[in-house]
């Protein structure tokens, strides 16, 4: 692995208007809430041996095995990659996550190679984003010699918009629910502890979605709310309204994460969050009740889903649509949950 790029190499490889799929990957590894990197550098695809992603994962794994005491500390890996990972590299990333679980990963992509292979990464909680000018500058400032200055190339912003449109459209197709998944998770008469969250992000006074999808809880440390908030944070440029349709929850820890999210951005941008819940999480718990009260005090709308909300969620997120079929006892169960929420 090498540590520092030349300006010429950065511009040749990261320029998103040039159709080149020779992958260059810059990365950093750091402990949660720490600014200093523990490991960093960059790698190219080596056609005779391995792709850049695999080379970097090997180095990170080697470092972690040498630093056994760090295994219980949460770590963050950030990848700036010229081309989105291929299917084989996505599989290697998944295997890495299964072995070293206390990780967050951000992948920032200059050019799109294969979107179909990214679905499993997204469901695992990996944050995926098409690089814009601020990301290119950030990568340049971190990995190119400090005496150099980043200079945007012609067509950068326009190409970013084009790639992002493709990325988000494909993201939507990848993350649409099946009818079986929807009814299995959102039926409010069933007890299913594995939470699912469908979300949409739209501009202020504009009904068109800018970002949307769904997430499951993937580990005890990776609740769906955390995954979605990380995705949303990548797109905060203008005032927005965020809808959450939650099958079960949110727990007190996730309520705190939502509060932290609001406090982080409240002075920068206008944020409105509307949470629609199928089933309440431990509504008799004082900790949960206090968390819900705090959300309300911060202006977050928290409501129990009624028949109309279930139908709206169904129409927005189910891939192959028939008509929404309400299940027995939907409405009385919804009314009971709403009364419990109102009592809080």
Residues 125-156 have pLDDT tens digits of 788 889 999 999 999 999 998 888 999 999 99
Whether the CB-CB separation of 31 and 75 falls below 8 Å is answered with: yes
Residue pair 114/88 in contact by the 8 Å Cβ criterion? no
pLDDT interval class at 54 (50, 70, 90): very high
The fraction of the chain above a pLDDT of 90, given in percent, is: 38
pLDDT of residue 12: 93
Q: With cut-offs at 50, 70 and 90, classify the pLDDT of residue 207.
A: low
Measured between alpha carbons, how far is 198 from 210 in angstroms, rounded to an integer? 14
Q: What gap in Å lies between CA 276 and CA 298, rounded to an integer? A: 16
Strand 209-216 relative to strand 196-203: parallel, antiparallel, unpaired?
A: antiparallel
Which of 45 and 21 is assigned the larger pLDDT?
45
Q: How many residues does the chain have?
A: 344
Report the distance separating Cα 118 and Cα 231, nearest Å: 14
CB 276 within 8 A of CB 310: no
Half-sphere exposure of 101 (CA within 13 A, CB side): 7
Which candidate, 82, 141, 87, places its Cα nearest to that of 108? 82
pLDDT over 80 (residue 124) = no
How far is CA 49 from each of CA 2, 45, 95, 147, 192, rounded to the nearest angstrom? Answer: 17, 8, 19, 34, 45
Instruction: Return d(Cα 341, Cα 191) in angstroms, integer.
Output: 18
pLDDT tens sequence across 265-288: 877 788 889 999 999 877 667 888
* pLDDT score recorded for residue 272: 87
CA dist., res. 251 & res. 240, Å (int) = 24
Where would I find the H helices in 67-199? Answer: 87-99, 119-124, 133-143, 156-174, 179-186
CA distances from 32 to 56, 289, 333 (A): 19, 29, 41
pLDDT at 249 over 80: no
Which residues does 55 contact at the CB level (< 8 Å), separation at least 6? 1, 43, 46, 49
Q: 24 with 81: CB under 8 angstroms?
A: yes
What digits encode the pLDDT tens for the residues 67-90? Answer: 766 666 788 899 999 999 988 899
9-13, 121-125, 246-250, 316-320: which range is least confident on average?
121-125
Q: How far apart are CA 49 and CA 75, in angstroms?
A: 28
pLDDT classification of 170: cutoffs 50, 70, 90 = low
Those residues with Cβ within 8 angstroms of residue 6's Cβ, 6 or more apart along the chain or in another chain: 144, 145
257's enclosing H/E stretch is: helix 252-265
Q: Among residues of the chain, what percentage have pLDDT more than 70?
A: 88
**CA 56, CA 171: separation in Å to the nearest integer?**
26
Domains, in order of start, for the chain: 7-172 (3.40.140.10), 179-343 (3.40.140.10)
Average pLDDT over the chain reads: 84
Q: What is the pLDDT of residue 47?
A: 66
d(CA 204, CA 76): 32
Question: How do residues 285-328 score in pLDDT, each as one tens digit?
Answer: 788 888 889 999 989 999 999 999 999 999 888 876 678 999 99
pLDDT of residue 223: 81
Give tens-digit pLDDT for 25-39: 999 998 877 777 889
pLDDT of residue 173: 44
pLDDT number for residue 206: 61
Residue ranges of E strands in the chain: 24-31, 39-44, 75-83, 103-111, 127-130, 196-203, 209-216, 240-246, 271-277, 301-304
Nearest alpha carbon to residue 298 among 268, 264, 332: 264
pLDDT, residue 228, reads 84
pLDDT band for position 7 (50/70/90)? Answer: very high
């Amino acid at each position: 692995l090498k540590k520092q790029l030349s300006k010429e190499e950065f511009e040749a490889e990261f320029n998103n208007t040039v159709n080149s799929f020779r992958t260059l990957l810059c990365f950093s590894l750091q402990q949660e809430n720490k600014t200093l990197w523990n490991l960093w550098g960059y790698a190219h695809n080596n056609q005779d041996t391995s792709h850049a992603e695999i080379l970097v994962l090997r180095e990170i794994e080697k470092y972690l095995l040498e630093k056994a005491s760090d295994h219980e500390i949460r770590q963050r890996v950030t990848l700036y990659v010229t081309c989105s990972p291929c299917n084989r590299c996505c599989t290697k990333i998944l295997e890495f996550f299964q072995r070293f679980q206390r990780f967050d990963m951000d992948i920032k992509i200059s050019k799109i190679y294969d979107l179909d292979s990214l679905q499993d990464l997204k469901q695992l909680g990996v944050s995926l984003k098409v690089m814009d000018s601020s990301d290119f500058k950030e990568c340049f400032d971190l990995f190119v010699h400090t005496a150099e200055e980043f200079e945007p190339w012609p067509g950068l912003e326009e190409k970013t918009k084009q790639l992002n449109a493709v990325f988000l459209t494909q993201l939507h197709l990848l993350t649409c629910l099946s009818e079986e998944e929807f009814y299995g998770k959102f039926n409010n008469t069933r007890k299913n502890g594995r939470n699912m969250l469908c979300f949409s992000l739209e501009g202020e006074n504009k009904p068109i979605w800018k970002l949307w999808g769904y997430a499951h809880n993937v580990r005890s440390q990776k609740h769906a709310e955390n995954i979605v908030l990380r995705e949303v944070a990548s797109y905060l440029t203008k005032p927005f309204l965020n809808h959450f349709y939650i099958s079960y929850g949110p727990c007190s820890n996730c309520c705190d994460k939502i509060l932290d999210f609001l406090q982080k951005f409240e002075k920068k941008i206008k944020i409105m969050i509307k949470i629609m819940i199928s089933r309440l999480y431990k509504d008799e718990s004082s900790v949960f009740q206090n968390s819900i009260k705090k959300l309300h005090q911060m202006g977050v709308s928290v409501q129990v889903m009624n028949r109309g909300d279930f139908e709206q969620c169904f129409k927005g997120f189910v891939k192959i649509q028939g008509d929404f079929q309400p299940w027995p006892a939907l409405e009385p169960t919804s009314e009971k949950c709403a009364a419990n929420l109102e009592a809080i």
